[in-house]
Structure formats: structure tokens, C-alpha cells
Amino acid sequence: AQKVTQAQTEISVVEKEDVTLDCVYETRDTTYYLFWYKQPPSGELVFLIRRNSFDEQNEISGRYSWNFQKSTSSFNFTITASQVVDSAVYFCALSDLGNNLFFGTGTRLTVIP
């Protein structure tokens, strides 16, 4: 069965600090997809990244970067030079080749000005 664990329930950082959000997953499938979503205070879900299990190359997009390590079943998300607008709940999710996403319980990030 698929499972996603986000052990950090809440994190607070001061603006301009770097912060890493952890995500550990479990699956028996060899082909799967990993995602990160952002849920700002307004409540909608904003897609950030999608990664397939065959591509372990780390990705950087502006201040965001992702570290995918199959050996430790982790897909961590780092925000560099955090800003107040980064304050949100961040969800990691997993899918096999099926039809639905399995979400972690989320990490609430608060960036203090």
C-alpha cells in the first residue's frame, strides 16, 4: 500500500532563512510519481512539481529545489531565502499508475518577517 509521511507538522523560520520540508514515502511499485502541492491560507491547491520514479535528478526552480533519493525513499523540498508569501501548508503526494493520489498530512510553514 502507498503511504506518505511528513513528520514535520509545523515549521517556523525567519524571513530569508532556508528551510527544508521532509517527505518519506512507501510503495511496492517500481513505477510511481511524487508530487508537492502548496495550500496557501486561501485554501486552494497549487501544483509545484511532479517527479517520476525513473528520474532521480534533482530539480531547481527559482528559490525552490527538490531532492529525490530512492535509496531512502525521500523527496525533500527546500525553499531558499524564504519569504512571507511562502507561508502555507505544503503537501507531498504519491501515485502509482492508478487513478488517485495519496497525500501526506502536510507541513505548515510560517515565515516570520
Partner 1 sequence: NAGVMQNPRHLVRRRGQEARLRCSPMKGHSHVYWYRQLPEEGLKFMVYLQKENIIDESGMPKERFSAEFPKEGPSILRIQQVVRGDSAAYFCASSPRPGFGVGSEASYEQYFGPGTRLTVT
**Residue numbers of the site for partner 1 (CB under 8 A)?**
4, 31, 33, 37, 43-45, 47, 50, 52, 55, 91, 93, 95-106
How many DSSP H helices and E strands does the chain contain?
0, 12
In the bound complex, what is the minimum distance in angstroms from residue 68's beta carbon to partner 1?
Answer: 13
Cβ(97)–Cβ(29) below 8 Å = yes
Cβ(80)–Cβ(65) below 8 Å = yes
Nearer to partner 1 (CB atom), residue 11 or residue 101:
101
Nearer to partner 1 (CB atom), residue 93 or residue 111:
93
DSSP class of 7? -
In the bound complex, what is the minimum distance in angstroms from residue 9's beta carbon to partner 1?
Answer: 9
